[in-house]
């Protein structure tokens, strides 16, 4: 059994590495196809001559042929040289840019994810327990309304009413933080990040609520729960020992997949709030045609997704030996 | 022959009526239809809702809301409510066309992968896994901004379809695998029917109803996706949609705060939410119609 689990993981990992290479090369191809370079604006503004422009292109590798560039990227992926490269816009190594921005996004995303999924799960279980009652339908209609609100709109509304009009929250960027001690820093961070956290966690709260509710309701109406009830077991015992255990594996997968997609939602949220995380970094890099930064950021995101999905698959295979046989 | 065609048409109309009646009697479905009809009226006859045109400009800029201008005037002296009304057509049609394209690509790839199996299936599913692995909004954002100098609404639609097909393809593939082993399909194969005939005559017709439910949900998602994209400044100023109105609002946030023009922010968001609610409701109702097991609950 040990060996089959091991070979299952090995095959999955190989598959993931091929996917990673494919994804990064796809992004690289897109970048190469796109018109424009970061130096165009200097040329238009007359800050540099045609000759200097050509030399900059040469220097930053914008004139490499496609295959050479792709090989460089592949080499950079495996030796992590991708992060040591310099950004032509900031003229700094990418690792420096990312190491400043990544903690902000990770903090934001982790808090939003934790808050959102917990709220969603609790409300989902509550709905399933009270299925068919007025309480449940009130929650469900509310969810229907909240689900439809665009993230950026929610952000702007909160910013307008709570930050600008009521003055409860700062509307300056979180990079204004001046830490005095750890505790003060935490409070300050939370104060600056609470609105983005609320906005971002909305997506997770809603989707987890609906999924948990549907799955739990399905379990509740199945024969084995009816049988357990007939034996006179307590409702809470049934939920904890049987229902939750049965719905956990798919939930774990769902959670893992979502982790990667948090970055996508973070771009919009960070832009609305002018939050100094990876989202705004990628957004600026794209406008500036700062290809090394875009490539390195996507590499980080792709690795995060792959690690999350792999962990989910291993957990799943461990919990449910049937799928290993596939 | 003619009789056969007309008989078939009658049958389709009868089915459509039945589906429509089911949605109308469904609590969420009815809400969805009512909102959708209102939005469609706004998209088709914008003149009924505003006396200005999107091109109309005033000498006043940033004028707060009044009875004359329900949402005020923007930085160019344009009437904001008029832009929202005329944006309905663009937002709805972009979502609609993108969903149709996504479904077509997804259904095609899904049936091919499921029906032929083997290496082709592995290859197509590998591509689909790889695309699914990236946050689609981020990918769309990268593509749109890299090509921003030549970008327009049609590129948005095509790129959305190109990166959103995998989930539909997975669903269709699973259905195709099931259908392939049904007796009537096996019988058709045994009788020597061509692959194309089997796919188009026997497999696709059973999947199409499912695709309708899927389309409704996809449209709801795409309306928000496109609005997010235009909100981030990657819109087509020649075809301003709801997201574009919010983009200009976000650009002028300070003046909005000073003049208290909250309608500029609130109203376009409400329009987006209404559209999303309409399609989500209709999608749920269609799914309940297709899945009788859920109906009993």
Q: What is the mean pLDDT of residues A136-141?
A: 89
Question: What's the pLDDT band for A97 if we cut at 50, 70, 90?
Answer: confident
Tell me the pTM: 0.85
Note the pLDDT of residue B107: 92
Q: What is the mean pLDDT of residues A229-241?
A: 78
Q: Searching chain A, which residue's CA lies closest to the CA of residue B130?
A: A19
Note the pLDDT of residue A1: 47
Question: What's the pLDDT band for B296 if we cut at 50, 70, 90?
Answer: very low
CB < 8 Å from B in window 169-208 of A: none
Q: Is residue A295 assigned to a domain? A: no
Q: Is residue B4 assigned to a domain? A: no
Whether the predicted pLDDT of B160 surpasses 70? yes
Whether the predicted pLDDT of A242 surpasses 80? no
Question: What's the pLDDT band for A177 if we cut at 50, 70, 90?
Answer: low
Same domain, A75 and A126: no
Question: What's the pLDDT band for B36 if we cut at 50, 70, 90?
Answer: very high
Whether the predicted pLDDT of B207 surpasses 90? no
Same domain, A70 and A134: no
Same domain, A104 and A198: yes
Note the pLDDT of residue B269: 92
* CATH number of the domain where residue B252 is located: 1.10.3720.10
Q: What is the rounded distance in angstroms from the CA atom of residue B178 to the CA atom of residue B207? A: 11
- Tell me the pLDDT tens digit for each residue of B111-148: 999 888 889 998 998 888 888 877 788 888 888 888 87
Residues of A in contact with B288 (CB under 8 A): none
Higher pLDDT, B216 or B193: B216
The chain-wide mean pLDDT, for chain B, equals 85
Same domain, A35 and A112: no
Residue B147, domain extent? 17-295
Q: Considering CB atoms only, which of A19, A148, A272 is closest to B133?
A: A19
Question: Is the CB of residue B145 less than 8 Å away from at least one CB of chain A?
Answer: yes
Number of residues assigned to chain B: 297
Report the gap between the CA of B147 and the closest CA in chain A (Å): 6
Q: Searching chain B, which residue's CA lies closest to the CA of residue A308?
A: B133
Concatenated DSSP letters for chain B? -HHHHHHHHHHHHHHHHHHHHHHHHSHHHHHHHHHHHHHHHHHH-GGGT-SS-TT-B-S--SPPP-SSSTT-B-TTSBBHHHHHHHHHHHHHHHHHHHHHHHHHHHHHHHHHHHHH-HHHHHHHHHHHHHHHTS-HHHHHHHHHHHTGGG--HHHHHHHHHHHHHHHHHHHHHHHHHHHHTSHHHHHHHHTT--HHHIIIIIIHHHHHHHHHHHHHHHHHHHHHHHHHHIIIIIS-TTS--HHHHHHHHHHTHHHHHHHT-THHHHHHHHHHHHHHHHHHHHHHHHHHHH-HHHHT-
Same domain, A126 and A208: yes
Q: Is residue A232 assigned to a domain? A: yes
Note the pLDDT of residue A57: 76
User: Which residues on adjacent β-strands are paired with residue B6?
Assistant: none
Domain count of chain B?
1
Q: Is residue A320 assigned to a domain? A: no
Percent of chain B with pLDDT over 90: 31
Q: Is residue B1 assigned to a domain? A: no
Q: Considering CB atoms only, which of B28, B146, B256 is closest to A30?
A: B146
Chain-chain contact of B137 with A268 (C-beta, under 8 angstroms): yes
Most confident of A85-89, A123-127, B129-133: A123-127
Note the pLDDT of residue A180: 65
Residues of A in contact with B279 (CB under 8 A): none
A225 secondary structure, DSSP code: H
Question: Is the CB of residue A23 less than 8 Å away from at least one CB of chain B?
Answer: yes
Note the pLDDT of residue B280: 92
Percent of chain A with pLDDT over 90: 3
The chain-wide mean pLDDT, for chain A, equals 81
What lies within 8 Å, CB to CB, of B206 at 6+ separation is B175, B179
Domain count of chain A?
2
Q: Is residue B11 assigned to a domain? A: no
What ipTM describes this predicted complex?
Answer: 0.84
CB < 8 Å from A in window 6-35 of B: 28
Same domain, A111 and A207: yes
Report the gap between the CA of A308 and the closest CA in chain B (Å): 11
Question: Is the CB of residue A263 less than 8 Å away from at least one CB of chain B?
Answer: yes
Q: Is residue A297 assigned to a domain? A: no
Same domain, A190 and A273: yes
Q: Is residue A15 assigned to a domain? A: yes
Question: Is the CB of residue B108 less than 8 Å away from at least one CB of chain A?
Answer: no
Same domain, A74 and A118: no
Chain-chain contact of B276 with A260 (C-beta, under 8 angstroms): no
Same domain, A199 and A235: yes
Q: Considering CB atoms only, which of B135, B262, B280 is closest to A261?
A: B135
Q: Is residue B5 assigned to a domain? A: no
Note the pLDDT of residue B293: 55
Output the CA torsion sign for A173, A178, A184, A185.
positive
Whether the predicted pLDDT of B17 surpasses 70? yes
Same domain, A98 and A181: yes
Whether the predicted pLDDT of A300 surpasses 90? no
Q: What is the rounded distance in angstroms from the CA atom of residue B129 to the CA atom of residue B123? A: 10
Same domain, A241 and A136: yes
Residues of A in contact with B250 (CB under 8 A): 152, 156, 272
Q: Is residue A42 assigned to a domain? A: yes
Question: Is the CB of residue A148 less than 8 Å away from at least one CB of chain B?
Answer: yes
Q: Is residue B92 assigned to a domain? A: yes
Question: What's the pLDDT band for A262 if we cut at 50, 70, 90?
Answer: confident
Note the pLDDT of residue A153: 92
Question: Is the CB of residue A293 less than 8 Å away from at least one CB of chain B?
Answer: no
Nearest to A244 by CA among A317, A319, A312, A310: A319
* CATH number of the domain where residue A283 is located: 1.10.3720.10
Whether the predicted pLDDT of B297 surpasses 50? no
Rg (CA), chain A: 24
Q: Which 3 state secondary structure label does DSSP give A277? A: coil
Same domain, A111 and A29: no
Q: Is residue B121 assigned to a domain? A: yes
Q: Searching chain A, which residue's CA lies closest to the CA of residue B293?
A: A218
A264, A274, A283, A326: best mutation site toward chain B, by most B Cβ within 10 Å?
A: A264
Q: What is the rounded distance in angstroms from the CA atom of residue B280 to the CA atom of residue B297? A: 19
Q: What is the mean pLDDT of residues A271-300?
A: 85
A279, A105 Cβ separation under 8 angstroms: yes
Decide which of A49, A83, A117 is a domain's last residue: A83
Q: Is residue A314 assigned to a domain? A: no
Q: Considering CB atoms only, which of A152, A161, A221 is closest to B297?
A: A221
Q: What is the mean pLDDT of residues B217-224?
A: 92
Residue A141, domain extent? 94-287
């Amino acid at each position: 059994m040990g060996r089959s689990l091991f070979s299952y993981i090995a095959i999955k990992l190989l598959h993931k590495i091929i996917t990673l290479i494919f994804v990064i090369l796809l992004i690289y191809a897109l970048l190469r196809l796109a018109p424009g370079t970061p130096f165009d604006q200097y040329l238009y503004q007359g800050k540099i001559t045609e000759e200097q422009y050509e030399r900059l292109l040469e220097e930053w590798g914008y004139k490499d042929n496609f295959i050479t560039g792709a090989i460089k990227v592949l080499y950079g992926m495996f030796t992590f040289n991708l992060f040591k490269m310099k950004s032509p816009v900031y003229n700094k190594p990418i690792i420096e840019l990312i190491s400043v921005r990544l903690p902000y996004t990770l903090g934001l995303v982790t808090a939003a994810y934790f808050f959102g999924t917990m709220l969603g799960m609790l409300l989902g279980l509550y709905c399933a327990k009270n299925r068919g009652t007025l309480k449940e339908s009130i929650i469900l209609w509310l969810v229907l309304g909240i689900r439809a609100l665009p993230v950026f709109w929610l952000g702007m509304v909160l910013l307008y009413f709570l930050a600008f009009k009521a003055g409860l929250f700062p509307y300056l960027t979180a990079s204004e933080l001046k830490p005095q001690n750890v505790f003060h820093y935490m409070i300050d961070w939370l104060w600056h990040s609470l609105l983005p956290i609320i906005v971002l966690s909305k997506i997770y709260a809603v989707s987890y609520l609906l999924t948990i509710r549907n799955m739990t309701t399905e379990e509740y109406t199945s024969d084995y729960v009816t049988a357990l009830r007939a034996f006179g077991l307590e409702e809470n015992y049934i939920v904890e020992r049987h229902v939750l255990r049965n719905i956990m594996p798919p939930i774990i997968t769902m959670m893992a997949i979502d982790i990667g997609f948090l970055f996508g939602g973070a771009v919009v949220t960070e832009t609305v709030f002018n939050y100094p995380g990876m989202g705004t970094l990628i957004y600026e890099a794209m406008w500036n045609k700062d290809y090394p930064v875009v490539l390195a950021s996507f590499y980080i995101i792709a690795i995060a997704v792959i690690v999350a999905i792999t962990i989910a698959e291993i957990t799943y295979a461990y919990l449910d030996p049937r799928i290993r046989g596939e | 022959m003619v009789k056969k065609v007309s008989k078939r048409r009658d049958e389709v109309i009868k089915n459509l009526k039945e589906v429509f009646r089911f949605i109308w009697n469904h609590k969420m479905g009815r809400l969805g239809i009512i909102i959708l009809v209102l939005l469609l009226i706004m998209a088709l006859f914008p003149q009924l809702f505003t006396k200005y045109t999107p091109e109309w400009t005033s000498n006043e800029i940033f004028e707060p809301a009044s009875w004359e201008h329900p949402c005020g005037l923007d930085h160019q002296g344009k009437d904001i409510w008029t832009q929202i009304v005329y944006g309905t057509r663009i937002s709805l049609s972009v979502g609609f066309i993108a969903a149709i394209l996504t479904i077509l690509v997804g259904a095609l790839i899904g049936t091919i992968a499921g029906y032929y199996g083997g290496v082709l299936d592995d290859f197509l599913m590998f591509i689909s896994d790889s695309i699914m692995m990236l946050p689609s909004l981020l990918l769309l954002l990268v593509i749109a901004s890299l090509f921003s100098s030549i970008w327009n609404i049609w590129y948005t639609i095509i790129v959305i379809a190109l990166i959103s097909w995998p989930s539909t393809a997975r669903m269709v593939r699973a259905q195709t695998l099931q259908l392939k082993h049904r007796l009537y399909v096996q019988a058709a194969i045994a009788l020597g029917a061509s692959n194309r005939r089997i796919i188009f005559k026997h497999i696709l017709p059973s999947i199409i109803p499912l695709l309708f439910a899927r389309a409704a949900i996809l449209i709801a998602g795409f309306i928000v996706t496109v609005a997010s994209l235009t909100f981030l400044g990657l819109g087509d100023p020649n075809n301003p949609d709801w997201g574009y109105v919010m983009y200009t609002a976000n650009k002028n946030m300070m003046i909005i705060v000073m003049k208290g023009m909250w309608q500029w922010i609130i109203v376009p968001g409400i329009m987006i939410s209404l559209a999303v609610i309409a399609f989500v409701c209709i999608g749920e109702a269609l799914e309940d119609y297709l899945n009788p097991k859920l109906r009993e609950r």
